[in-house]
Chains A and B, each alone.
Chain A
Amino acid sequence: MSFLDYFISALFLQAGYNSALVAVGAGLLGLSAGSAGAFIFLRKRALVSDAISHATLPGVGLAFMIMVAFGSDGRWLPGLIIGSAVSSAIGLVMVEWITRKTRLTEDAAIGAVLSVFFGFGIVLLTIIQTMSSGRQAGLENFLLGSTAGMLISEAMTIAIAGALAAGFVFLLRRPMTLVAFDPDYAATTGVNVRNIDLAMMGLALIVTVIGLKIVGLILIVALLIIPPVAARFWTNQVGPMIGIAAGVGGLSGYIGAVLSAAEASLPTGPIIVLVAFGFFLISALFSPLRGGLASWLRHQRFQRRVHRRQGLLSLARREPIYDGLTIRILRRAGMIRADGVATARGRIAAEKAARDEARWAMARRILPDDSAIERYDGLTPIERMMTPDQIAEIDHMIQTAQGAKA
Chain B
Amino acid sequence: MINDLITALGAEFVQLSLTPIVIGILAAIACALPGNFLLLRRQALIGDAISHVVLPGIVAAFLVTGTITAVPMMLGAGGAAIVAVVMIEIVKRLGRVEPGAAMGLVFTTLFAAGVLFLEITDTSSVHIDVQHALLGNLESLIWFDAEGWGSLIDPKALATLPPQLPRLAIVLVVIALFIFLFWKELKISTFDAAFAEAVGIRTRTLGFALVVATAIAAVAAFDAVGSIIVIAMFVCPPASARLMTNQLGRQVGWSVIFATISAILGYVFAGYGPGWFGSPYAVSAAGMIATISGLILMLTCLFGPQRKRIGQQAET
Contact = CB atoms under 8 A, between A and B. Distances in A.
Interface of A: 41, 44-47, 49-50, 54, 97-98, 101-105, 107-108, 110-112, 114-123, 125-127, 130, 140, 143-144, 218-219, 221-222, 225-226, 228-229, 232-233, 265-267, 269-271, 273-274, 277, 280, 284, 290, 292
A119 B291 contact: yes
A133 to B, nearest CB: 15
B48 A50 contact: yes
Interface residues of B, number: 68
Interface stretch (B78-86, B97-105, B198-206, B216-224): B97-105
Contact of B42 (A107, A219, A267, A280): A107
A123 B293 CA distance: 14
A126 B297 CA distance: 23
B104 A222 contact: yes
B235 A111 contact: yes
Contact of B234 (A111, A122, A221, A274): A111
A44 B91 CA distance: 15
Interface in B223-239: 228-232, 234-236, 239
A266 B120 CA distance: 7
The 5 closest A-B pairs by CB, nearest first: A119-B290, A116-B294, A122-B287, A222-B108, A115-B232
B104 to A, nearest CB: 4
A221 B102 CA distance: 12
Contact of B100 (A47, A119, A232): A47
Given A101-B301, A105-B42, A126-B282, 15 more contacts: A44-B101, A104-B39, A104-B239, A111-B231, A114-B48, A118-B228, A118-B229, A119-B291, A123-B283, A222-B108, A266-B120, A267-B115, A267-B116, A284-B91, A284-B95
Contact of A107 (B45, B228, B284, B306): B45
B236 A116 contact: yes
B96 A219 contact: no
Nearest to A37: B101
Given A110-B45, A222-B104, A102 B119 contact: no
A350 to B, nearest CB: 38
Interface in B93-137: 94-98, 100-105, 108-109, 111-113, 115-116, 119-120, 130-131, 134-135
Contact of B98 (A44, A101, A120, A277): A44
B308 A47 contact: no
Of B47, B102, B239, B287, chain A has the most CB atoms within 10 Å of the CB of: B287
Contacts of A273: 108-109, 111-112
28 contacts: A44-B100, A46-B100, A50-B48, A102-B308, A103-B308, A103-B312, A107-B43, A107-B45, A107-B100, A111-B44, A112-B294, A115-B232, A119-B228, A123-B283, A123-B287, A123-B291, A125-B287, A126-B281, A218-B111, A225-B104, A228-B101, A232-B97, A266-B116, A267-B116, A267-B119, A273-B111, A274-B116, A277-B109
B236 A112 contact: yes
A236 B100 CA distance: 20
Contacts of A143: 130-131, 134
A233 B95 contact: yes
A47 B104 contact: yes
B234 to A, nearest CB: 7
B168 interface: no
B228 A54 contact: yes
A229 B95 contact: yes
A102 B243 contact: yes
Given A50-B48, A101-B301, A122-B287, A229 B101 contact: yes
Contacts of A110: 44-45, 48
Contacts of A222: 104-105, 108-109, 112
A126 B283 contact: yes
A229 B102 CA distance: 8
Given A102-B301, A107-B45, A46 B284 contact: no
B288 interface: yes
A101 B44 CA distance: 18
B306 A103 contact: yes
A226 B103 CA distance: 10
Nearest to A122: B287
B112 to A, nearest CB: 4
A119 B283 contact: no
A315 B126 CA distance: 70
Nearest to B287: A122
Contacts of A108: 39, 42, 44, 235, 239, 242
Contacts of B290: 115-116, 118-120, 122
B165 interface: no
A268 to B, nearest CB: 11
Contacts of A41: 98, 101
Given A107-B45, A280-B105, A122 B284 contact: yes
Nearest to A116: B294
A228 B101 CA distance: 9
B119 A225 contact: no
Contacts of B42: 105, 107-108
B131 to A, nearest CB: 6
A270 B98 contact: no
Contact of B284 (A125, A271, A292): A125
B95 A226 contact: no
B112 A219 contact: yes
Interface string B29-51: 00000000001001111011000
Contact of A119 (B96, B287, B306, B309): B287
Contacts of A125: 284, 287
A290 B93 CA distance: 11
A1 B94 CA distance: 42
Contacts of A50: 48, 104
Contacts of B115: 144, 267, 269-270
B289 interface: yes
B316 interface: no
Nearest to A111: B235
A119 B288 contact: yes
B44 A102 contact: no
Nearest to B230: A115
A98 B96 CA distance: 29
A119 B235 contact: no
Given A107-B44, A120-B287, A274 B112 contact: yes
Contacts of B229: 115, 118-119, 122
A235 B209 CA distance: 37
A157 B241 CA distance: 44
A63 to B, nearest CB: 18
